[in-house]
Amino acid sequence: MFSIGWQGFDLNRILKTFKPDLVHLHWINGGVVSVRSIRKLVIPVVWTFHDMWAFTGGCHYAGPCRGYESTCASCPQIKPIPVLRRLVSHCLESKHARSEGQRLAAVAPSQWMKQMAADSKVFGESRVQVIPNCCDKNIFSSDRRSAGRAKLGLEKDTFAYLFLNADQQRKGALHASDILDRLSSGFPNQKKRFLFLGGFPRGLTAGGDVFLLRPTSNQEEVAEIQAAADLFILPSLEDNLPNVVAEALSCGTPVAAFPTGGIPEMIIHGFNGLISPQSTADSLASTIIEHLVSLTTPRSEIGAMAHSAYSEDLVASRHRQFYEETLIEWHGRNI
């Protein structure tokens, strides 16, 4: 939920050895690279926003707070202890001081994240390019559907709902059980199964139509599960451009989700999924009950659209172009 980012490896030690033309930062928390280390860099830098941390005082998602636009002195996620408040403000100012010395270039996977960065104190004057995350079409494909359903024991007339990481509050743990209950009563005659991969929401147990799947980090197994599902439900309250949505769509599985972050950019309502008007369990469940019957797009079309949008070749070429533009701008300013 929160990282100060003051501890971490000195990136300059690596740069002295490898002497790269450009540094590309991704998610650097957990003591990987410190803010202080980034401030010392004298080389072109591109930073991909996997969450909002790069331009906040420490939170990974700010929620309704807009303090990162000016000051984080009254951070709602930190106890009102003066020394903690000063630390958060100092973290934001440290990031801003670096951006003033050298304008950082950045990649935002979603338009939503680009707008958040544009409104921020740290990256408001920076060049921010929208480049989505890529998805391996050789792994995530609708071709895995038959094998996936067979392994899960899903009969032809069984409708499978899939939840991923539903034990995490940010991923909708507070809403998953209520959505399940509404769908159970909303489709009384439907032969259904609720599949959970990555954890149960608190209070929910396996039994009846509810199954907790064996944890796996094998991408091919994950792809088979996603392809086996008839609908992937993601009630995320905070998200950027979720990989799990790109993966499900690449498998031809429609997605039902809250209108959170960059998710609405991935889903065409009624074509490859459903977006609820509000971020509540009742709103999403009602949307599914009312519109599920109209989701008739062939899985092959959903998959083809996702493969095009999240193609590895496309994403790689756009990164290369952005690197070249960043280098040209850097050398033009430092002649």
pLDDT score recorded for residue 102 = 67
What does DSSP assign to residue 132? Answer: P
Whether the predicted model's global pTM rises above the 0.95 cut: no
pLDDT in tens, 222-233: 999 999 999 999
Distance CA 109, CA 132 (A): 4
What are the helix (H) ranges across 50-202?
82-101, 111-118, 145-152, 173-186
**For residue 230, what are its two tokens?**
């008839």
What is the torsion angle, in degrees rounded to the nearest 10, for the CA atoms of residue 332, residue 115, residue 173 and residue 5? 40
Ordered domains of the chain (ranges, CATH)? 11-134+313-333 (no CATH), 142-310 (3.40.50.2000)
> What is the Cα Rg of the chain in Å?
22
What separation in angstroms does the CA of 121 have from each of 93, 102, 264?
9, 14, 26
Which among 219, 170, 227, 224 has a CA at the least distance from the CA of 199?
170
DSSP string, 202-229: TT---BTTEEEPPP---HHHHHHHHHH-
- 3-state DSSP assignment of residue 69: helix
> Among positive and negative, which fits the CA dihedral 96, 101, 107, 112?
positive
Give every residue of the chain whose pLDDT is below 50, as ranges: 335
**Locate tokens 């100012």: which residue?**
93
pLDDT score recorded for residue 99 = 57
pLDDT in tens, 81-123: 777 778 888 888 888 876 555 678 999 999 999 999 999 999 9
**CB 203, CB 173: distance < 8 Å:** no
pLDDT score recorded for residue 335 = 46
pLDDT score recorded for residue 334 = 57
**For residue 138, what are its two tokens?**
């050789």
